[in-house]
Amino acid sequence: MTPLLRQVLSQVDGPDPRLNELVSALVTHLHAFVEEVRPTEREWLAGLDFLIETGKMCTPDRNEFILLSDMLGLTSAVDDVNHAGPDNMTPSSVEGPFHSPTPARELGAWISSGPERERGVPTVVHGRVLDCDGTPLAGAVVDLWQADDTGLYDTQDDSQDRGNLRGLFTTDADGRYWFRTIRPSSYPVPTDGTGGRLLHAIGRHPMRPAHLHYRVTADGYRPLTTHVFLAGDPYLGSDAAFAVKDELICHPVAHDTGSEQWEIDGPFEEIAFDLRLVSVNWTEEKA
């Protein structure tokens, strides 16, 4: 530790111990960064200018700092440290910026009713909400949102009604949920800001692999926010938001004909995805 850093830390003494801890740790890591890379003054000022520009482009509808946090894996890291649990739980994943209040729907409902329904691949999504012992959870609420076949959410696309490709479902007595939709598409994160400039500068593409978002709640269990990804997507190994986890990748099954069970005509795909919630009473046992 440099004498300078020691001096800075010695003066962190506010009334909130947690804030003191956060500031002290951040200052320590930023000083270590400076010692390690020895930025020139020009580099340092360029970094500060980048932060200014990022702040100035944020609006109520666009948070470029969250995008930077996502694309540097920091949002995922924060998610991970907050959602430790037993090995057989369904892992959480980042919420992303596109959640919005969702209309309640009957099990089996079509959530796709816009022009994308004609273009997209009909898809049945079904599964169960369980506890970590495999016991089905009846009455769990599954909040679901996804982009269309061109990668746009309703809130980004005037051709979709609000609530399109979203749904709020309640599991049945066996913990089951199901709905009909179209297959989501991979899509780029916004590239017209500082986040996009950074991605370009470090040689990365802006794509997120196709996914559906889930937020699941059930009495007595921790809320679970996560994604399901589709096996075979070319961007699974390089998600711009680093949200992919192996347990969240499912294998869609292609059917050449329709299904009476799923009330669907013609060829369709089937995605089966169970979600295992963690009891609110679970505590991390330190070995």
Pure H helices in the chain: 3-10, 17-37, 41-56, 64-71, 74-82, 116-119, 194-201
d(CA 208, CA 186): 6
* Contact set for its own copies, span 227-246 (CB under 8 A): 238, 242
Residue 169 · residue 105 · CB < 8 Å: yes
DSSP state of 221: B
Q: How far is the CB of 60 from its own copies (least distance, A)?
A: 11
Complex with its own copies: residue 54 or 90, whichever CB lies closer: 54
d(CA 153, CA 149): 10
Q: How far is the CB of 179 from its own copies (least distance, A)?
A: 27
Per CB under 8 A, 198 contacts its own copies? yes
Q: How far is the CB of 84 from its own copies (least distance, A)?
A: 10
- Considering only residues 36, 106, 158, 265, which one is a binding residue for its own copies as defined by CB under 8 A? 36
* Contact set for its own copies, span 15-34 (CB under 8 A): 15-16, 19-23, 25-27, 29-34
Q: How far is the CB of 180 from its own copies (least distance, A)?
A: 32
User: If we measure between CA atoms, which residue out of 123, 106, 102, 96 comes closest to residue 185?
Assistant: 123
- Considering only residues 54, 90, 102, 160, which one is a binding residue for its own copies as defined by CB under 8 A? 54
Distance, first Cα to last Cα, the chain: 31
User: If we measure between CA atoms, which residue out of 84, 82, 98, 111 comes closest to residue 190?
Assistant: 98
Residues at the site binding its own copies, with contacts judged by CB under 8 A: 2, 4-5, 7-8, 11-16, 19-23, 25-27, 29-41, 43-45, 47-48, 51-56, 58, 63, 65-66, 69, 72-82, 198, 200-204, 238, 242
